[in-house]
């Protein structure tokens, strides 16, 4: 293709080619499950399962990480919503005889009103009780979460991480953000996960087929929008994807996805999908040491998953388990040596630790090998 032609590339409407495209899911679609009615969640799960069955569904590793990080905040928001309702419930504990002493007790209107006051207080008590039961059920999502179980089942075998080293992606992201190249440069001022969007985009760019990215995000570095409704993917994104892969890229909302795949869906489902709220990332002010501990924790969890998938007994000791994984040729020597470097350090001697970037890179290296192993087994 002559270089100048990329600037005049015109994508076809997504409705014409979505039936053959790879569908990539954004974080906000997974998080929205904690806002939807059960019917809506069930409908979306059915669509995603069918896409997975036909090898047309991909979830970037970055999306899984962001979902894991922000999921507790979504559960807490639902709990806070109930607490707000409970705090507004006010009983009327003063009898009408006390408030209106001029009326006789035998007055029929007074008696009816007093009975209604008592029924009102009883209803408040019942409502309060049921709200607290509901809150306990939501709190239990931290231990038994059917939504998480469904997402885990769907994600199994379709999570993709970039093949590039994370340090390379971040370096690219820094330059792109300086040059105001979408996507993600609008996040450049964020104190944390400022490269999340570009990591997702890097994952998408490695796909060699037509891609539809499903997201409720209306950020201007992803889409052209009006009245806070996304309209179409930015020209820079469709152009870059076409130049690299000679394929089409589109950005659509969850509602558009369902409309195109199952236009006869119930109106209540469409309403839910139309009203997905904005999701703000959980913001943590972590000290440098807390950031180290965060990635030590992530590596710990992932090693546990690896051991479980490899049918090994995980005792909680990362290095011992990594050694067994290496001996069984389930992880590479390069990864094992890097884990050795990390876990042979004295975690209390903060100044002697490997750089945070090295630990993050090791975490992503481990994630890539885990998901590669997962796909083969």
Average pLDDT over residues 221-245: 85
Average pLDDT, the chain: 84
- What DSSP element (H or E) covers 80? helix 61-88
List pLDDT tens digits, range 147-159: 999 999 999 999 9
What is the Cα–Cα distance from 149 to 136, expressed in whole angstroms?
19
Q: Which pLDDT band, with edges at 50, 70 and 90, does 55 fall under?
A: very high
| Dihedral Cα 325, 165, 342, 354, nearest 10 deg | 170
| Percentage of the chain lying above the pLDDT 90 cut | 38
Q: Which pLDDT band, with edges at 50, 70 and 90, does 280 fall under?
A: very low
List CB contacts of 81: < 8 A, sequence separation 6 or more.
Answer: none
| pTM of model > 0.95 | no
Average pLDDT over residues 277-302: 60
pLDDT at 282 over 50: no
Give the per-residue pLDDT at 289.
63
What is the Cα–Cα distance from 187 to 197, expressed in whole angstroms?
8
In contact, 206 and 163? CB cutoff 8 Å: yes
In the DSSP assignment, the letter for residue 105 is T
Q: Which pLDDT band, with edges at 50, 70 and 90, does 310 fall under?
A: confident
Give the per-residue pLDDT at 283.
39
Tokens of residue 11, six digits:
């994508």
3-state DSSP of 227-243: CCEEEEECHHHHHHHHH
Give the per-residue pLDDT at 45.
94
In contact, 250 and 211? CB cutoff 8 Å: yes
In contact, 61 and 371? CB cutoff 8 Å: yes
Q: Which residues pair with 159 in a beta bridge?
A: 59
Give the per-residue pLDDT at 8.
84
Q: Which pLDDT band, with edges at 50, 70 and 90, does 187 fall under?
A: low
Average pLDDT over residues 232-249: 92
What is the Cα–Cα distance from 96 to 104, expressed in whole angstroms?
11
Q: Which pLDDT band, with edges at 50, 70 and 90, does 245 fall under?
A: very high
Q: Which pLDDT band, with edges at 50, 70 and 90, does 111 fall under?
A: confident
| Dihedral Cα 143, 146, 147, 151, nearest 10 deg | 100
- Least confident window among 36-40, 57-61, 80-84, 254-258: 80-84
C-alpha to C-alpha distances, 86 to 120, 123, 125, 251, 273, nearest whole angstrom: 15, 13, 10, 40, 28
Give the per-residue pLDDT at 228.
65
What is the Cα–Cα distance from 370 to 185, expressed in whole angstroms?
30
Nearest residue to 306 via CA among 362, 365, 367: 367
Tell me whether the omega of the peptide bond preceding residue 305 falls within 30 degrees of 0, making it cis.
no
pLDDT at 190 over 80: no
Instruction: Give the highest mean pLDDT range of 36-45, 56-65, 212-221, 334-343.
Output: 56-65
What is the Cα–Cα distance from 332 to 184, expressed in whole angstroms?
32
List pLDDT tens digits, range 133-182: 999 999 888 888 999 999 999 999 999 999 988 889 989 989 998 888 98
Domain boundaries, the chain: 3-71+146-274, 78-142, 288-376
What is the Cα–Cα distance from 241 to 200, expressed in whole angstroms?
13
pLDDT at 25 over 50: yes
SS3 content of the chain, % helix, strand, coil (to 5): 60, 5, 30
What is the Cα–Cα distance from 316 to 308, expressed in whole angstroms?
12
214 SS3 class: strand
Average pLDDT over residues 5-25: 90
Q: Which pLDDT band, with edges at 50, 70 and 90, does 369 fall under?
A: confident
Please count the CA atoms within 13 angstroms of the CA of 332 that sit on its side-chain side. 11
In contact, 230 and 223? CB cutoff 8 Å: yes
Nearest residue to 273 via CA among 254, 248, 300, 292: 254
């Amino acid at each position: 293709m002559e270089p100048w032609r990329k600037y005049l590339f015109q994508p076809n409407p997504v409705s014409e080619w979505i039936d053959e495209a790879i569908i990539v899911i954004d974080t906000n679609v997974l998080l929205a499950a904690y806002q939807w009615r059960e019917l809506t969640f069930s409908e979306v799960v059915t669509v995603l399962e069918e896409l997975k069955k036909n090898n047309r569904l991909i979830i970037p590793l970055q999306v899984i990480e962001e979902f894991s990080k922000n999921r507790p905040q979504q559960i807490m928001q639902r709990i806070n919503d109930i607490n707000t309702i409970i705090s507004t419930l006010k009983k009327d504990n003063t009898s009408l005889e006390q408030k209106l002493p001029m009326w006789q007790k035998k007055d029929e209107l007074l008696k009816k009103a007093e009975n209604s006051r008592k029924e009102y207080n009883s209803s408040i008590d019942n409502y309060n009780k049921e709200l607290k039961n509901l809150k306990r059920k939501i709190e239990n999502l931290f231990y038994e979460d059917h939504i998480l179980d469904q997402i885990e089942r769907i994600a199994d075998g379709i999570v993709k991480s970039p093949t590039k080293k994370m340090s390379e992606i971040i370096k690219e992201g820094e330059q792109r953000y300086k040059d105001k190249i979408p996507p993600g440069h609008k996040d450049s001022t964020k104190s944390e996960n400022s490269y999340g969007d570009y990591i997702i985009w890097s994952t998408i760019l490695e796909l060699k087929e037509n891609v539809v990215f499903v997201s409720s995000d209306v950020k201007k570095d992803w889409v052209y929008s009006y009245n806070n409704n996304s309209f179409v993917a930015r020209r820079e994104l469709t152009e870059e994807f076409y130049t690299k892969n000679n394929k089409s890229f589109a950005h659509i909302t969850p509602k558009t996805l369902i409309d195109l795949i199952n236009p006869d869906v119930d109106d209540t489902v469409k309403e839910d999908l139309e009203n997905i709220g904005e999701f703000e990332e959980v913001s943590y002010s972590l000290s440098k040491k807390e950031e180290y501990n965060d990635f030590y924790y992530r590596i710990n969890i992932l090693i546990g998953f690896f051991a479980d998938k490899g049918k090994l007994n995980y005792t909680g000791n990362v290095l011992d388990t990594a050694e067994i994984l290496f001996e069984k040729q389930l992880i590479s020597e390069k990864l094992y040596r890097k884990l050795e470097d990390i876990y042979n350090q004295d975690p209390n001697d903060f100044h002697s630790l490997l750089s945070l970037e090295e630990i993050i890179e090791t975490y992503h290296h481990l994630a890539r090998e885990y998901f590669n192993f997962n796909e083969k087994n």
